[in-house]
Structure 1
Amino acid sequence: MKRIFFRVIFAFGLLPALSGCIGVAYYAQSLKGHVEIMAARQSVERLIGDASTPEDLRARMASARAIRQFAIGSLDLPDNASYRSYADIGRDYVTWAVFAAPEFSLAPRVMCFPVFGCVPYRGYFSKTAANESAAKLQRQGFDVHVSGVTAYSTLGWSSDPLLSTMLRRDETYLASLVFHELAHQRVYVDDDSAFNEAFAVTVETTGVKKWLRAAGDEAGLRRYEAGLKRSADFVALLAQTRDELNQIYQGPGTPDWMRAAKAAAIERLRVRYRQMRERRWGGFGGYDGWVAAPINNAKIAATSVYNDRVPAFVRLFENCSGDYPRFYAAVARLGRLAKADRIAALEAASTCE
């Protein structure tokens, strides 16, 4: 899948503030996983300058260094120690995010951190631990979705490194991750994941397009914009199903009726996807895996967190004439509002002020 992928935020150093065995165990695994990654870091500059560094890795590090500098000079993203080191973690994903939602609701279950606020998932450095958590939630009656994650952020509390998982695709993918994660360091609002993620996605997508233009990569820009269009199509498809499911859950039906209606709505999603893939995308199958795998409320809710408010943020960015400092200032002002007022003001914004 090209555009729907998840990142997680971890909080560290908070064990003394917690009580209860489950809470301590969760934070302990988070801290342990993070410390192991930090211990494996190597300087990007040292890797580039070391003759023993494999040529492919040296080239990727040079690209990462250029992307990092572009983030500072052209996107006004933080100039700090994040993404100036590299860690090979030897696995496909750095963490696994566990999303959960009630059987008849699209409202995700949230987890709250003492400092960072609430987010709609739990992140684990162990796939086994993530699956065990998911199984426990399933036994409690929740719909559950487990997603592998290629990058995570500590919001600048530590010097987040580049990870081998971030190099799985091309330079454009790496740039998108770096721009997205640094955007979280620029503006982050407690207890509003939808706001934070849509803001970061906006910085990511506008930043990647600016980066490709600056590189004179017109072919890459066309590919990227085509991918964004397919992503928007797919998100709209999911929104249609989400509306259908909300009507089912808010209706007077019995649990058995809602269960059957839910299954039928999800099957309609699959049918519509196949039609869109053939009629609009020329057979492009980048989302086939997502659609073929089990679909439930948790999986649909997770996707909406990252995408629903992106159009409003893009409009605000355009109202700021593509000026990143002005855009960040406008977003920060919105972030200081009460949550309900923040959403309304974002959707209604017609200027940058």
Structure 2
Amino acid sequence: MKLRLPKRPQRVGVAPLLLPMLLLLLPLAGCSTAGYYAQAVSGHLGLMAAREPIDEVIADPATPAAVRERLELAQAARRFAIDELGLPDNGSYTRYVQLDRPAVVYNVYAAPAFSLEPKRWCFPIAGCVVYRGYFKRADAERTAARLEADGWDTWVGGASAYSTLGRFEDPVLSSMLYRDDARLAGLLFHELAHQRLYVKDDSAFNEAFATTVEEEGVRRWLLATGREEDLATWRESRRRAAAFQFLLARTRGQLQALYASGADEPEMRAGKAAAFAQLEAEYRALKASWDGWTGFDRWFEAPLNNARLIPSATYRGLVPAFRLLLVEADGDLEAFYTAAERLGNLPQAERDAEMRRLLATAAQR
């Protein structure tokens, strides 16, 4: 059994790879769409077939000690999610799959050259999402190359996990076994939150909800297990992440103003390049205050473009609104879930308006 323990997570919430019934759609689809669904179903069923009960993997003398320790922690975190966070109790994350690659799926993000509005792909069950996932990186890169040829900005990012919303018993994957305990626990909380609440066609709502549950869950888990030092480390990591997200949000604001300005294409292209150059310079200055910590260096390894900004906006854009919702619920998670479900049941326009109101209120506090 090979062992790969990722240092830092890359993840996506609900992948558009949900049901074998998608095979029934193939005769109705064009060749390229049929090929996409075929790889999705084949890859997903391959994962399901490779699952092993975690108890048996832990008991197996051939299991590396590092894998055994990670799986024991995953089991404890799953139990906490059920007992203390009110997240679903089913067969998810009771089995394990050892992958032969560092990510389970590779997601393609795309945006126009002069817009931050992400391209959306629509699927049965999952609805419309802002990425398209592939089990092979080469397939994702081919799709990105086709989009680039048509003038889109693109980015391909590996994801350590995806959720089937409880329709299958999702396994713990080797790509999820982060060396950082808080990140491993947080990922399980995040993915189980998707099973608790998922709103079709609203990626930003779904990911921000799950991210809020993840962060509150990690805070409570570290407190409950008496890990004061780890809690302090985790809080420091969140402060650094918040500072970095602020830089990304400011860059998005600059680009949105530029793209709405009516400038001609050469001027917008020059302004776009200047905005990303400023982001890199601001990050170097920020990193200098972190005593050599380089946790976000990898973010800059890929070319900087509009598509690169999609995940941060999707996962974190609405988090302050959900945090306020949790405060208004006096920290009662069941009341918080009920309030989030009420929002999720609103028509899209009403939900968007309510989220804007919550964001504005949160900004004033």
Alignment TM-score, normalising by the size of structure 2: 0.92
Report 1:145-294 matches (<5 A): 145-279=155-289, 281-294=290-303
Residue 330 of structure 1 is matched in structure 2 by 339
Instruction: Tell me which amino acid in the other structure corresponds to 1:224.
Output: W
Aligned to 2:87: 77
The offset of 1:136, in angstroms, is 0.5
One-letter code aligned to 1:6: V
Q: What letter is aligned with 2:174?
A: S
User: What are the superposed Cα offsets for residues 98-141 of structure 1, whole Å, 9 maximum, x if unpaired?
Assistant: 00000000000000012211000000000110110110110010
CA distance in 2, matches of 1:323, 1:4: 29
Does the CA-based 8 Å contact 2:10-2:157 persist in structure 1?
A: no
1:52 shift after superposition = 4.2
Match of 1:91 in 2: 101
Q: Are 1:139 and 2:146 counterparts? A: no
Give the drift of 1:302.
2.4
Q: Structure 1's 55 and 196: CA in aligned 2 closer, same or farther, altered over 3 A? A: same
* Matched residue, 1:308: 317
Match for 1:288: what amino acid? D
Deviations 1:234-260 (A, max 9, x none): 111111111111111111211111111
Indicate the residue corresponding to 2:123 in structure 1: 113
Q: What is the match of residue 11 of structure 1? A: 18
1:342 and 2:348 aligned:
no
Query: Alpha-carbon deviation of 1:284?
Result: 2.1
Distance 2:127 2:302 in 1: 31
In 2: Cα distance, 1:91 partner to 1:166 partner: 12
Output the CA distance in 1 between the equivalents of 2:298 and 2:181.
23
**SS of aligned partner of 2:201:** coil
What's the secondary structure of 2:106's corresponding residue? strand
Q: Please tell me whether residue 318 in structure 1 is matched to residue 327 in structure 2.
A: yes
Matches within 5 A, 1:49-60: 49-60=59-70
Question: In 2, Cα distance between the equivalents of 1:135 and 1:323?
Answer: 47
1: CA distance between counterparts of 2:154 and 2:169?
32
- Aligned residues with identical type, % of pairs: 46
The equivalent residue for 1:100 is: 110
Q: Report the CA distance between 1:288 and its aligned residue.
A: 1.4
Q: Which amino acid aligns with 1:323?
A: D
Counterpart of 2:3 in structure 1 is none
Change (3 A) 1:27 1:4: closer
Q: Distance in 2 between matches of 1:14 and 1:320?
A: 39
Residue pairs, 1:24-39, within 5 angstroms: 24-39=34-49
AA of the residue aligned to 1:211: W
Indicate if the aligned counterparts of 1:153 and 1:181 stay in contact, CA closer than 8 A: yes
Aligned partners of 2:9 and 2:183 also within 8 Å: no
For the 8 Å contact 1:8–1:123, the answer to whether it is kept is: no
Instruction: Kindly indicate whether the alpha-carbon contact (under 8 Å) linking 1:4 and 1:303 is maintained by their aligned counterparts in 2.
Output: no
Alpha carbons 2:9, 2:176 under 8 Å: kept: no
- Distance in 2, matches of 1:57 and 1:31, equals 28
The letter for the 1-side match of 2:124 is P
Residues 2, 227 of structure 1: 8 Å contact kept: no
Q: Aligned partner of 2:12: which letter?
A: F
Distance 1:61 1:87, change over 3 A: same
8 Å CA contact 2:11, 2:161 repeated in 1:
no
Shift of 1:265: 0.8
Q: 2:314 is aligned with what amino acid?
A: V
Question: How many pairs does the alignment contain?
Answer: 350
Cα deviation, 1:122-178, whole Å, max 9, x if unaligned, reads 000001101101101100100000001111111111110000000132221110110
TM-score (norm 1): 0.95
Asked if structure 2 preserves the Cα contact closer than 8 Å seen for 1:248 and 1:258, the reply is yes
Q: 2:137 corresponds to which letter in structure 1?
A: K
Could you tell me how far apart the structure 2 residues matched to 1:56 and 1:106 are?
41
Aligned residues: CA RMSD:
1.7
Q: For the Cα contact (< 8 Å) 1:177–1:204, is it kept in 2? A: yes
